Amino acid sequence: MNEESSANEPAENTVAKLLIDQPSDFRFHAAYLVYSEAWDKAISSEIKLKLNDIVSALSCEKIDYEMFYREISRYRVELSRENLSARKKTYIETQRKRDWRKRQERDSRNKRHGR
């Protein structure tokens, strides 16, 4: 039984990206770029399969563009949330040149007098 489950895992983890782009059709090409970006950022094979289903349904004209963007948007939101939580915010502290000079003078004076 363990051999069967290990044999099934590689098949599940290897989800191929669909290469059905149509550069001559502007609307489909734009939709494909959205799909491609979401597919590249997706980590789980389940999400990749869903994305494949959505874009293939669009290419077969089973769904329209409005439905495509509605369906794919939920996966794009999940991916952006994951990216936001992974990012750390950086803060830049600014100060006026006059304040910086005063601080430098004070630090050098303290250093000279051993404080």
Q: Determine, yes or no, domain membership for 49.
A: yes
Per-residue pLDDT averaged across 44-72, rounded? 93
Q: How many domains does the chain have?
A: 1
Is residue 1 predicted with pLDDT exceeding 60? no
Alpha carbon distance 40, 17 (integer Å): 9
Q: Mean pLDDT throughout 21-46?
A: 91
Tens of pLDDT, residue by residue over 8-25, are 444 445 889 999 998 999
Tokens standing for 31?
A: 């939709």
55 belongs to a structural domain: yes
As a whole number, mean pLDDT of residues 58-65 equals 94
Which stretches of 1-115 are DSSP H helices?
Answer: 2-13, 26-41, 45-59, 65-86, 97-112
Domain range for 35 is 2-89
DSSP secondary structure, 56-71, as one string: HHHHTTSS-HHHHHHH
Q: What is the phi-psi region of residue 114: left when phi exceeds 0, alpha when psi lies from -120 to 50, beta otherwise?
A: left
47 or 75: whose pLDDT is higher? 47
